[in-house]
Amino acid sequence: MAAAAALAAAEPPPAMPQAAGAGGPAARRDFYWLRSFLAGGIAGCCAKTTVAPLDRVKVLLQAHNHHYKHLGVFSTLRAVPQKEGYLGLYKGNGAMMIRIFPYGAIQFMAFEHYKTLITTKLGVSGHVHRLMAGSMAGMTAVICTYPLDMVRVRLAFQVKGEHTYTGIIHAFKTIYAKEGGFLGFYRGLMPTILGMAPYAGVSFFTFGTLKSVGLSHAPTLLGRPSSDNPNVLVLKTHINLLCGGVAGAIAQTISYPFDVTRRRMQLGTVLPEFEKCLTMRETMKYVYGHHGIRKGLYRGLSLNYIRCVPSQAVAFTTYELMKQFFHLN
């Protein structure tokens, strides 16, 4: 989710007018969305693959997997390869790749649509429209891709030798058959929505504000001309990293308890305390009562801070390259 929000926060300028005889405005718009889809998907996949080991550890720690619940972040990073091999660090990443491609595309396109809608219909502009559009875009992308995230979490939680699911297709079939059909894929959706609204909104708001202020006040120091359009300024790589890291850290801190709640609800029958965590309220009450704030609702937060810098670096760097490659500037 952080990588996709980062991608959509890097707002591309509108396409240049189409020359006569080159396909017309409608075709130009279609190709623009297609190129945006590919750019966001590729960047999202690269960013998520880079931090996949940390994502796996986060799921294990958040849900207190009994093999690793006594360990910290770095101890778990060492223990997983010893118990499951190095590929164990990438368990569930295949489902993540299937999810992150449409997630990034939907969030990006929804953000642009909502931003225009809020500005033209509601008359809201400035930095506030980023906050509103980002929240709405994040929720839209979550609803559309939530079943894929559910399957990804289930696969990531498995430990070698104790497999409930043999793969992505088998996980889909099993959840559908044993957990209430289609609705079984949306367990934990409410805390996800409540967590995504402030997360995506704050991410868009913080990064967009830092970017626009930086390029306005120090364009030569912080920016450089885009290779496909010298009239467009883009942030330098290390500045992208800094702005994205700050935005991600602030957003993650605000929304993290909802993320912990979501993970536990998604795991459902996999956890022994399943019957005590049927609703968002029950789950948060259980986690807080048994583990407290630091070791419960904010367990694994340090890992998310560690994930933030490399994830944003890869996401923004790849996306800027893809934007120039697909002539989006």
Rounded to the nearest 10 degrees, the angle between the axes of helix 301-325 and helix 237-267 is 120
Query: What one-character-per-residue DSSP string does 270-282 give?
Result: GSTTGGG-SSHHH
Q: Which of 21-25, 45-49, 78-82, 215-219 has the highest mean pLDDT?
A: 215-219
Give the contacts of 158 (CB within 8 A, at least 6 positions apart).
Answer: 91, 164, 165
Percent of the chain with pLDDT over 90: 7
pTM above 0.75, yes or no: no
- Integer angstrom CA distances of residue 191 from 60, 104, 120, 147, 157: 19, 20, 31, 15, 19
Whole-number pLDDT of residue 143:
92
- Integer angstrom CA distances of residue 199 from 13, 31, 103: 24, 30, 15
For residue 46, what are the β-bridge partners? none
Domains of the chain and CATH, by start: 36-203+243-326 (1.50.40.10)
Find out whether 3 and 48 touch, Cβ atoms under 8 Å. Answer: yes
Digit-coded pLDDT (tens) for 213-234 = 999 999 999 999 988 888 888 8
Digit-coded pLDDT (tens) for 145-182 = 898 888 877 887 777 766 778 888 888 898 888 887 88
Find out whether 105 and 36 touch, Cβ atoms under 8 Å. Answer: yes
Find out whether 50 and 314 touch, Cβ atoms under 8 Å. Answer: yes
Find out whether 100 and 142 touch, Cβ atoms under 8 Å. Answer: no
Digit-coded pLDDT (tens) for 238-275 = 888 788 788 888 888 888 888 888 777 777 666 766 66
SS3 content of the chain, % helix, strand, coil (to 5): 75, 5, 20
Whole-number pLDDT of residue 292:
85
Whole-number pLDDT of residue 18:
43
